Amino acid sequence: MTYNFGAGPCILPNEVFKQASQAVLEFNPTGLSILEISHRTPEFESVVDETVRLVKELLNVPAGYSVLFLQGGASLQFAMVPMNLLGDNQTASYLDTGVWANKAIKEAKIIGNVNVVASSKSENYTFIPKDFQIPEDSAYFHYTSNNTIYGTELMETPKTNVPLVCDMSSDIFSRTINVADFDLIYAGAQKNMGPAGVTLVIVKDEILGKIDRKLPSMLDYKIHIDGGSMYNTPPVFSIYVSMLNLRWLKSKGGVSEIEKENISKAEALYREIDRNPLFKGTCRTEDRSRMNVCFVMENPELEKPFLKFTEERNIVGLKGHRSVGGFRASLYNALPITSVHVLIDAMQDFAEKHKK
């Protein structure tokens, strides 16, 4: 058995893999593969409809919001958000908490005026800035809820009277949120929702259409809403597997139940990091992510031996991002707590082996 702690594309439930692999051979009783079925058929339209319903049900999406399945990943949303929401004479406010937040800022600056309300870049993004002020005349406030590279997560929704936009690519569906607090949420699927190739957007309808800017059709949220996420050929397979994965999440009791599991997984691993003399965390305790647990060795010379030690135990995906080093254990929804215990056992055995 392989224990996959990869940051993404990441682990999905085995039953989802089995169902998806069967659909590659034949999707329902159509005689066709899910990879060749037309997106305009009633069979696939029902897949999109069910996936929208599952998103709305699992996240308690209120009336007045549209659910979209787009392409281009969160990276395209870095540009689409300001193109649709930031007027020529307005300023958008951003919180800089990591590489992806910084990339979003960079793209927004191409479109219009940007105000960075706070940043933790000077300390290598090891914490979430606190007590920042969001100007009340901001076109919107944008933040990244979970920072996969540095292992920080903003659990509390910022309080503001301006439209709130959030990149939830790596923690959506992992914990309960109040969608009504947000005006636009976007998330690449390849962490907790499904495979790479589809991007979820949840947008409050009333915030659209207020910018006097001509937009290319593919970059206009309203056109995608009017087209039911089918203005162009959608990522059929990615949407289908997302539907299967959301069914699985619903069968487990939904987001509130998976959140309990995610808390248990993260607490167990952080407890071992803090207890084990060979390891230490990389970010402030109060800002630790439940999804991406980042840590290093007290003795850097032991990092390669430990990585080899874990790989011999079929633990994969543990190597930290190249900009941080060390290790990163991603604890997404489909990772069972038994895998966390396997990693903890490896950490303890390695420590015993290298006891002074």
Active-site residue flag, 222 = no
Could you count the other beta carbons within 10 Å of the beta carbon of residue 102? 17
pLDDT tens for 234-261 read 999 999 999 999 999 999 999 999 999 9
In the chain, CATH 3.90.1150.10 sits at 254-353
Mean pLDDT, range 179-191, rounded to an integer:
97
pLDDT tens for 186-199 read 999 999 999 999 99
Does 3.40.640.10 match the CATH number of domain 14-251? yes
In the chain, CATH 3.40.640.10 sits at 14-251
pLDDT tens for 27-67 read 988 899 999 999 999 999 999 999 999 999 999 999 999 99
Q: Which of 105, 108, 107 is nearest to 118 (CA)?
A: 105
Active-site annotation holder among 96, 183, 191, 287: 191
Residue 356 reports pLDDT greater than 70? no
- Please check whether residue 138 is in contact with residue 91, taking contact to mean a CB–CB distance below 8 angstroms: yes
Residue 213 reports pLDDT greater than 80? yes
* pTM score, whole prediction: 0.97
- Please check whether residue 94 is in contact with residue 114, taking contact to mean a CB–CB distance below 8 angstroms: yes
φ and ψ of 113, to 5 deg: -80, 135
Q: Which residue has the tokens 């002020």?
A: 133
- Please check whether residue 302 is in contact with residue 354, taking contact to mean a CB–CB distance below 8 angstroms: yes
Active-site residue flag, 319 = no
Mean pLDDT, range 10-18, rounded to an integer:
95
| Residue % of the chain over a pLDDT of 70 | 100
Active-site annotation holder among 167, 171, 183, 287: 167
pLDDT tens for 312-354 read 999 999 999 887 889 999 999 999 999 999 999 999 999 999 8
Mean pLDDT, range 252-277, rounded to an integer:
98
**Is residue 127 very low, low, confident or very high in pLDDT (cuts 50, 70, 90)?**
very high
Residue 275 reports pLDDT greater than 80? yes
Question: What is the domain class of 254-353 according to CATH?
Answer: alpha beta
Pull the structure tokens for residue 83. 């193109």
Active-site residue flag, 18 = no
